[in-house]
Amino acid sequence: DIVLTQSPATLALSPGERATLSCRASQSISTYIAWYQQKPGQAPRLLIYDASNRAAGIPARFSGSGSGTDFTLTISSLEPEDFAVYYCQQRYSWPPNTFGGGTKVEIK
């Protein structure tokens, strides 16, 4: 199974700062990765698919990049509503369709 490792586990930043979240795959997965945001008590929300495509209604401050084994989700300027947990998901090989362990972006 493909393992996704997200880092850091927790990222403490202030509103307005830039957030850079990493997801590393245990083998090459081309661009076949999606990113999700989950706020406490809520369902996840799709942000990015195919490494760099923003889902419908997602603000332009969210961007994704990478290919092969290393991927990045960038939030250019954190808004108060962006403090949440972020998960990556590989779509290259399944079953299983694995998720990373998550990165929590918290207010500094």
Partner 1 sequence: EGHLVESGGGLVQPGRSLRLSCAASGFNFDDYAMHWVRQAPGKGLEWVSRISWNGGSVDYVDSVKGRFTISRDNAKNSLYLQMNSLRVEDTALYFCTKDMDGSGLNPHDGFDMWGQGTMVSVSS
Binding site for partner 1 (CB under 8 A): 30-32, 34, 36, 38, 42-46, 48-50, 53, 55-56, 87, 89, 91-92, 94-102
The residue ranges of DSSP E strands in 1-108, in sequence order, are: 4-7, 10-13, 19-25, 33-38, 45-49, 53-54, 62-67, 70-75, 85-90, 103-107
Nearest CB to partner 1, comparing residues 17 and 72: 72
Nearest CB to partner 1, comparing residues 65 and 94: 94
Nearest CB to partner 1, comparing residues 61 and 101: 101
Token reading at 76? 């250019």
CB of 107 vs partner 1, minimal distance in Å: 20
CB of 77 vs partner 1, minimal distance in Å: 24
Residue 103 contacts residue 10 (beta carbons within 8 Å): yes
